[in-house]
Amino acid sequence: MRPKSAHEMSHVINVIKQSLNGSSSIVYLNIKRVTHLNMTAFHCLADVLISASRAEPNRKIVIVTSSVIAWSAPLFETLAAEQPNLVVEIYDSAFYPGQTFVEDESFIPILRTQTKMTWRHERDILPRHGLRQGLTIADICCGIGDFATLIKRQFKPVRLVALDHSKKSLEYARRVAAEFGLSTIEYTYGDAAQMLLADNQFDFVTCRHSLQIFDRPDILLRELYRICKPGGRVYITNEKNSHCLGEPHSESIRWTYEQVAKLFSHFDMDVEMGPKSRRLLNDAGFDDIKVESFMVTNLDGDPRDFADVIEAWENVYAGQMAVRRGDPPDFIRRFRQGFKDHVLAALHPKGYAGWPIWAASGRKPY
């Protein structure tokens, strides 16, 4: 909204007035996608909102903003400060149930250790899904951006955007990229379910281990589809946690990972999503769908690396999520034991430990 005069705002103001007239209890004004607003527009909005608040003090007006547009909430909070029935709501401060866990700093060791293990598989898998040098790429829900740096080195994209909603992870990503002199990765703060990126921009869009974390994967997929060019591909990875395995102590390990799946489900996250990838891509409108699975194991390089992944899982899943769910100490002890047994299986000279992952992609039709 960048009008030259108040007159250019008359249509918008009329729509708002009509909505206000239609309700005596509560009205929501959604400005989540207003990325630009000049002072002429702001004054027009302020006039109509303040006079409506004064005219009907019992009606609540909720202005719904987004933290992605940094100026938005502070600007409208100046209005709300004067009117008790005018409220500013930042929709993405608590917008999906797992957010507090995955956006916390304590989640970073999980992401760091996981990518180290998965990359040795994915660098060979990705070309089978259409990734090659010189493409425009977006890594959506990029976490700490380590996958983006690996892509940058190996596949030399002409443009690489990496978006996430975790400020802590993005801070980490920017620091690492600076240390490695990778200044051209465009790290972006945003909500993957409501991206401000334009349609049909990218040849290759990746979204790894994240559809399973967000409570509305269908909406994320719709956005991945939207920003992908016709003929381009969207690549996703997801897990099936209850199929993590190990020997010895297979029973204890199996029990714990079945509990992991239930624990995530309690917070509306589906870490059993891997085998559902084909259906999800199909329902989202993709064609030429490819699906493959791979198993990260303790035989992939140094077994200590896999043990680090498992210990990072134990810290967050047993140390935070189970506690938040209110699980009793006996449950948490048994839950932790399965992770310890998995570590033992990974480090044991005759042991075997595995973590299965599904990699899938679909083409956006022309």
Ligand X SMILES: C[S@@+](CC[C@H](N)C(=O)[O-])C[C@H]1O[C@@H](n2cnc3c(N)ncnc32)[C@H](O)[C@@H]1O
Residue ranges in contact with ligand X by CB under 6 A: 102-103, 111, 114-115, 141-143, 147, 164-166, 169, 191-193, 208-210, 213-214
Q: Are 83 and 60 in contact (CB under 8 A)?
A: no
Distance CA 224, CA 226 (A): 5
- Token pair, residue 12, equals 């918008």
- For residues 46, 52, 56, 61, the Cα torsion angle rounded to the nearest 10 degrees is -60
Query: Please, which residue, 193 or 310, has the CB nearer to ligand X?
Result: 193
Minimum distance of ligand X from residue 268's CB (angstroms): 12
Q: How far is the CB of 28 from ligand X (least distance, A)?
A: 20
The strand pair at 245-247 and 352-363 is best described as antiparallel
Q: Is the distance from CB of 191 to CB of 68 less than 8 angstroms?
A: yes
Which is closer to ligand X, CB of 147 or CB of 335?
147
Pairing of strands 185-189, 245-247: unpaired
The span from the CA of 220 to the CA of 66, in Å, is 17
State in angstroms the smallest separation of the CB of 250 from ligand X: 26
Q: How far is the CB of 326 from ligand X (least distance, A)?
A: 23
Residue closer to ligand X (CB basis): 79 or 160: 160
The strand pairing partners of 93, in sequence order, are none
C-beta of 63 vs 207, nearer to ligand X: 207
Q: Provide, rounded to whole angstroms, the least separation between the CB of residue 108 and ligand X.
A: 9
Sequence-separated (6 or more) residues with CB below 8 Å from residue 254:
242, 245, 338
Nearer CB in complex with ligand X: 118/298: 118
Residue nearest to ligand X (CB): 143
